[in-house]
Structure 1
């Protein structure tokens, strides 16, 4: 008996499948947290050169008006002003020379005409919002400013490799236990948990402002998923592909018991179980030509969607509002979007839904 035929007898989405599905959905939460933790762990903060001459310059002995003016002088001395001939924020990488700083401290004469030099003593950072980030700890500013973006790019290269490897493994061995009528539902409901992960991340980042502690708190709970191993059953489809028919039968019978259905008394798997499609490979996505065109179409859509999604999600701190609120709202808005997607796919199908969405986004951008 073929496994897909058995799946029809078990039911498209019975109690057994729901239990497995719920366990898989929970795994998505830490995936979401780590996918976008970069927003807070490598958040950009204001910075300026460390100026030794200013370290011992005390403004606290002055009255409030003089103290404010004193602090302003220190800031101006630590960071030269930008002008039309420099790129924005270039001053964060420069400082006035020691001689000019000493003179300015006594004359209150601060201007762009003073001689400047590159930072030689490191940087100071605004820690009013983030107590520490990887940028602050490793001085990833100025000539090293591209490294945080590089690290995020490397993360997504790993995502690309993982998608290719584990996608191929899933196609080869199977993990599908949900019936055809519920696959759209199952494929999208799991995304709600991705949104929940983003909401949780916003809360963690709000209460934990040190990047190492935040990374630790976000990572350690993932170890709990190893507890799944004794309780998460092996894929019957994979067992069949390995010719372990007796084990596959036992798991299928257990699923039938949980779903409260009866299997045929002569039910069994054998070497004839399976379909020729299981022999297909990744290359079959590019042959013949009509299939190749569809594959490239889907790939281009995924590229456009991911660039837009992660481009916006990783830039929530640049929206000009509270970083934590903007990230929280960004994650929360995904929930009604996924709900709408379920309805759209059921009523209009994938092609019309995708085309309408892409066209609408193009009009908004235009």
Structure 2
């Protein structure tokens, strides 16, 4: 049961890890030219004709530019424009290449039925770097959160840490769906990054500590497979919901159900034993044995009750390099990442 519910957590992590693919989708776009749309309607142009007449293309004077970020510096509201060669109606201009260009001062037109953070906050052209910053903040949150939350899970317990990360992740995800500006959106996404990866790792730790050594590799792999299933589900949901705010809300709200882990998920017995809480660990172990209809082996009877005078094991970052074997594993993982 615990393995299944934690796999649901792994699948739900997908929208934060790769959600940028759908949330930050960049549709085809062009500069908004005041009056061009009215002229197109008046002349009965098709979309192809409107683009050909009003959107600059090519490399004038050897300067490379994109028609998505430049427009003709002309007034399309001028009377008497020709419907077949409107640019020739402007005096002193004989060819398209000789017409001055300007930036998209009046915004952009996006050829998309849905919406994304790109189209809503105009993260294109000079502001295209803001889309990269959005995802970079998530990755920075992953890095910092994995270190800090990993320590917290060792210090205060896996279950408590998992519940806190789920709550913060859910609330910040909902707030991001209602973010009024790009800045607030990045802040809420950063909060998600700080807790989501650490929470996912805490779930990974829990499932490996619930089972014996012979099953650790299997449950670890299936936990990753659940993430892949989440990828497929996310793609289907994003196909059905092309608007980024509704998509963000849809993939975030189910996370609140993970707060039910408070009642259905036990604490790691291995962590309890390491913290000299053998009585609590035995309660969890008996609960697991009863649920699986198993008889406890005699070795579990040797667990001593909680000793008030014994010293608890305190986690430390030094543990990552304390022994030669751990140092080897730590450096291999750092190099791999």
Fold agreement, TM-score > 0.5: yes
Give the equivalent residue in structure 1 for 2:112. Answer: 127
Any idea what the Cα deviations from partners look like across 1:310-351, whole Å, max 9, x if unmatched?
xxxxxxxxxxxxxxxxxxxxxxxxxxxxxxxxxxxxxxxxxx
Tell me, yes or no, if structure 1 residue 116 matches structure 2 residue 101. yes
Higher deviation after alignment, 158-167 or 212-221: 158-167
CA shift for structure 1 position 77: 4.4
- Distance (Å, rounded) in 2 between the aligned partners of 1:241 and 1:277: 7
Residue 270 of structure 1 aligns to a residue whose secondary structure is coil
Of the candidates 142, 165, 169, which is equivalent to residue 159 of structure 1? 142
| Counterpart check, 1:219 vs 2:195 | no
- By how many angstroms is 1:46 displaced? 1.2
Alpha-carbon deviations, 1:191-237, whole Å to 9, x = none? 11101100001101111111111111111111111122111112223
Structure 1 contact 49–78 (Cα < 8 Å) conserved: no
Match of 2:272? 239
Deviations 1:33-62 (A, max 9, x none): 221111011101111111112131244774
Q: 1:164 to 1:258 in 2, by over 3 A?
A: same
8 Å Cα contact 1:100/1:115 also seen in 2:
no
Separation in 2 of the partners of 1:124 and 1:234? 53
For residue 296 of structure 2, what is the aligned residue in structure 1?
262
Quote the Cα distance in structure 2 between the aligned partners of 1:189 and 1:253: 25
Provide the rounded CA distance (Å) in 1 between the counterparts of 2:326 and 2:276: 31
In structure 2, the CA distance between the partners of 1:104 and 1:78, relative to structure 1 (3 Å rule), is farther
In 1, Cα distance between equivalents of 2:97 and 2:76? 11
Counterpart in the other structure of 1:282:
317
Indicate the residue corresponding to 2:23 in structure 1: 41
Q: Give the number of the structure with larger relative contact order, counting CA–CA contacts within 8 Å between residues 6 or more apart.
A: 1
**In 2, distance between residues paired with 1:161 and 1:223?**
23
- Give the length in aligned residue pairs: 274
TM-score, reference length from structure 1: 0.66
Query: How far apart, in 2, do the equivalents of 1:286 and 1:104 lie?
Result: 79
RMSD: 3.1
Secondary structure in 1 matching 2:102: strand
Offset, 1:296: 2.8
SS across alignment from 1:56: helix
Structure 1 unmatched ranges of 5 or more: 1-18, 303-366
2:124 is matched with 141
